[in-house]
Amino acid sequence: MASTNEIRYFFPRDSAESERLNSQHEAWMSDIGYALHPSIQTHESMRVADIGTGTGIWLYEVAQHLSATSQLDGFDISPSQFPDPKDTPSNMTFRVQDLLQPFADELLGKYDVIHIRFMCFALSRNEWEQAVKNLVALLKPGGYLQWGDAAIGTLRAATTDPTQSTRYMEKSIEVISQLAVATNKDFSCVERLPLTFKEQGLANCVQTHVESDATLTTKSHFNVAMLLGIESILTTIVKFGGNDVIKNNRNVREMMSHIDDELSRGAFFWYKVTVTIGRRPL
């Protein structure tokens, strides 16, 4: 298998992944209920940044609720999934930027809102503090940092029927956990974000969460999101040489077929999705 440094990001960057990200966003809107946290007051000519923007779908969502005089900037370490420039509104930009590197001086202290989402598979355990530090530096006094993420440390295979098998769901979670250890990921960092926010100078730091079985609709959406995410991760493992369990694409298809069967029989993935917000003092 490839070195762990080569597998910093667990997901591919192709059209199928873009579709997964867009589908994930639609589920987010249905289950979480908002793109911008309701405690964040909007006003004319806001400046908003989306970090790890991917396809930019969050920016397009937020743009519907902000004035045309607002400036919306998307940043990502790769431009592979950026939207076509001809489809981009005049008040929206997309730029290549590594979250862990300092942002350009002209951007520091300029933003009313910084949004970031689903970094649990992208950041190593020792990178979260630096990431938050770099984001806080972008905020105006009184600006907000909003971080949405999956608390994958809470992930487990669940069922209301004790006779129902969850063998393959559990195996997939084990594979992800092993890869996380090998790549120095720490999923508990998500639930520690309020403390990390405070340590980097933010105030009014609050974390809320939604559990995957909150409603039947939520359970279905969270299952689909996790199923697609697992398939992307397993495919990436194959791309980098495979491991003892997943050696080739046939193994991926077999694993996904078994998981789909377990889900169809009533099993489900239980986990929490969190939103953490904090405000830079005035």
Q: Where are the domains of the chain?
A: 4-279
CA distance 76 to 94: 8
- Is residue 168 within 8 A of residue 205, CB to CB? The reply is no
Long-range CB contact pairs, 77-83, < 8 A, 24+:
77/9, 77/52, 78/13, 80/13, 80/14, 81/13, 81/17, 81/18, 81/21, 81/54, 81/55, 82/53, 82/55, 82/56, 83/55, 83/56
Query: What pLDDT is attached to residue 137?
Result: 98
List per-residue pLDDT tens for the chain, 282 residues long: 444 444 455 555 666 666 766 677 777 777 888 999 999 999 999 999 999 999 899 999 999 999 999 999 999 998 988 989 998 999 999 999 999 999 999 999 999 999 999 999 899 999 999 999 999 999 999 999 999 999 999 999 999 898 999 999 999 999 989 888 888 999 999 999 999 999 999 999 999 999 999 889 889 988 988 888 899 889 888 888 888 888 899 999 999 999 999 999 999 999 999 999 999 999
d(CA 74, CA 62): 12
Which sign does the torsion angle of CA 261, 264, 265, 267 carry? positive
Nearest to 135 by CA among 121, 119, 120, 146: 146
With CA atoms as reference, report the closest residue to 36 among 74, 1, 66, 5.
66
Q: Which two tokens stand for residue 47?
A: 């400046």
Q: Using H for helix, E for strand and C for coil, what is the string for 158-204?
A: ECCCCCCCCHHHHHHHHHHHHHHHHCCCCHHHCCCHHHHHHHCCCEE
Give the contacts of 88 (CB within 8 A, at least 6 positions apart): 56, 94
pLDDT in tens, 231-247: 988 988 888 888 888 88
| Residues 187, 173: Cα–Cα separation, whole Å | 13
Choose the CATH number for 4-279 among 3.30.210.10, 3.40.50.300, 3.40.50.150, 3.30.1370.30.
3.40.50.150
Output the pLDDT for position 4: 41
Amino acid at 224: V
Sign of the Cα torsion 258, 252, 189, 141 reads negative
Task: Return d(Cα 105, Cα 111) in angstroms, integer.
Answer: 13
Instruction: In whole angstroms, give the CA distance from residue 250 to residue 75.
Output: 35
Beta strands in 14-128 (DSSP E): 47-51, 71-76, 92-96, 111-117
Q: What local confidence, expressed as pLDDT, does residue 87 receive?
A: 87
Tell me the per-residue pLDDT of 88-141, one tens digit each, with 9 for 90 and over: 999 999 999 999 999 999 999 999 999 999 999 899 999 999 999 999 999 999
- pTM higher than the cut 0.85: yes
- The pLDDT value given to residue 5: 40
Tokens read off for 71? 């400036």
